[in-house]
Structure 1
C-alpha cells in the first residue's frame, strides 16, 4: 500500500452545481432568468471503501506498520540499528524490532457555496453557469501505536549514545522530517477557500407530451480550480480538470402526482498534463523530489445509471428519492522518463452506489394564483454513498434556493 495521498479518490465529490441535484427533465420557459444559490457540506470522507468493498476509516487504511522490513527502506539509520541489534545474541533482535504503527488520522470536511445563473433560451432549451466557491478543512494528526520499543530500551539502554538516540525515535517527528527532506509539504491542518471548477450546462428537452418527456443535458467542466499538487499528501487534488458529462433523462408521470425519472450519464475526461512523482518500484511509497516528471494523464471516464421518484404531496411540497450506480475506469499515465507509471494507476478504478432523498417547497403555483409574492423553489437534499470500491464515503447535505424572473 502506498503511504502517499491521504485523499486521492474524491472525484465523485464534484457536484453538478448547474444542474438539478436530482436529475429531472425540467427546463425554463423562454426568456425566464433563474438565479439560484446552493450551499452544501460533504462529510464522511474520512471513511473509504477499499478495493474489496470494505468500509474503513482513512486512519486505519493509511496507517503504516514500521516493522524491521519497513524500517530498512524508510531510513539508513534504522537499517544500521537493525543490523547492530542482529549482532546481539542469536534471537534476531533486529528482525523483531518494531516501532509500531504510524496512524494518520484525518477529519476532512468540504463545504461549498455555488451561485448559479440559468436562462431559458426557448421553452425547450436552457443554459446555465455555476461558480462554486469551495472551503476544504482537514484536521490531521500522527500517532505512534503498538510499539515494542520499551522492551528494547530496557535491554539496551545506555550501551551507546547512537543506540539510545535510535531507541528514542518518534515516528511522527521522523515522518515529518522525512517528508520535508524529500521535498513534501509537512502534514498539517488545512483550511482553504478557493474558486472551484466553473461549470457550464445546456439542457434541451427534445420530446414532451402530457405524461412524459425526454431531455439531453451537456455539462462542461472548466479547469479553473486549484492545480494538482504532488508535494501535498493532504491536498484535495480533484480540481483543475476538463471534462464533459452527457446525460439522457426520461420522465414518466403516473397517477397525476408521481413522476419516475430514469437516467444514464457518461463523463468523458480530456487528457491533461500534471507534475507527478513516479515511484521506482512497489516499495517506493514516498518517491524523492528528483522523481518528479511532467506526465500525460488520462483520467478514467465514468458511467452512471440511476433513477429518481418524485411525489407531489401538495401544490407546494414535493418529496423525492433516488438511487444510482456508477463505475469509473482506471486512470493512465505516460511520460518520457523512467519509473513505474503503472503504480500510479493502482486503485484508481472506482465503483459506487448512492442514495438520495429530497424535500422541496415551491411557490410557483401559488404565485400564479396571486397568493405568493415571488416564484421560488427551496429544497433540501441529502445523499450518501452506501457501497463502493476505491472511493470515499460521502454524506452530502445541500440547501438550494431557486428564483425566477
Structure 2
C-alpha cells in the first residue's frame, strides 16, 4: 500500500515508538509509575514527561509554557471556551474551532466567522473591519488541513494586537513542518500524530505574556493547574521523541517534500489545484478534475491511501466547507482529492500512486 494521507495522520516514527515502549512498563518493570506520584518510580516518569516537554517547547517560540493535552482539539477548546471576550475566526478553520460557536454564544459572547480570499488565505481587510474593543480572541490556522494554504500569520497577529485581542493559532499542520519561532501569538495548539508521534497526545503552548485560560477539566490540576488527569509518560515521551527528530532536520524535510511536490505536480498536469499555489505547504496537493467520481476513484485505487477531503468529515456526504469557502461549486468540491506526503514518502510512491489514479480517472473518461 502507498500512504498519501499525511494531513490526516502520519506514520509513527521508529524513534517515537522506542521512546514509548520504555514507559509502557510491565509488572516486572520500574517504568509504569504515575508521573504525579512522589516516590522514585513516579519521579522517573515525571522526569520523562519534563524531558518531552522541553523537546516539544524546542519547536515553539521562545518563552512560554507547554501544557500537554489529549490533542489539538482539547487545546483549541480550552482556549476558545476559557478566554473572555468575543471570538473572531475564519470560514476555513477546523471543526474543532468552528463547532465551538454554540458553546461560546451560550456564554453570551459573539462568535464571528470571516470569509477567506479565493486563494484560501485569510481576508485581512475583513479582520480589520470586524475586530472591536470587545474582541477577546482571534483564532487562525497556520496551515489549512484540507488545501494546505499558509495564512498570513504575522499580519493577522499585528491586527489583533493593535486591537488588544489575544491570538490562538491552530498549528497542527505547521508544527514540525514549518518554523513557528518567527511568530508571537498568545496560544498555539498542536498534535503529536501529525509529526510521526502517537495519537492521543497534543499540547497547548501559552505565551509568556498570555493569561492562562479557564480549565475545561476539573480535578487534580496535574498540568499547570489547567488540565486535570494523569499524564501518560509513554505518550509524552513519544511526542518528545518525534519533536526531537524535527529539531535540526526541518530544512532537509522541507526540501524533500518540495521535491515530491514537484514530481506530483508534473504528473497531474491538467488538474486544477485548489487554493493558493504560492502560499501553501508543499506536502499538500489538493486537486480536482471536473466530472471526477471520487468515490469510484477511491474504490478503484484501494491500494493508494488518499483523501476526498478532510478525514474529520469523511463519510458525511457533504461537500468540504473549506472548498465551498473558496468559491467552489458542489460538483467541483466533490470532484476534488487531497494527496498528502512527507518524511517517509518516496518519489517512487508518488509515481506509482499517480499512475493508478490517472488510470482510474481515464476509465471514467477523464
TM-score range, shorter chain: under 0.3
TM-score in terms of structure 1 length: 0.22
In proportion to residue count, which structure has more strand? 1
In proportion to residue count, which structure has more helix? 2
TM-score in terms of structure 2 length: 0.24
Larger radius of gyration: 1
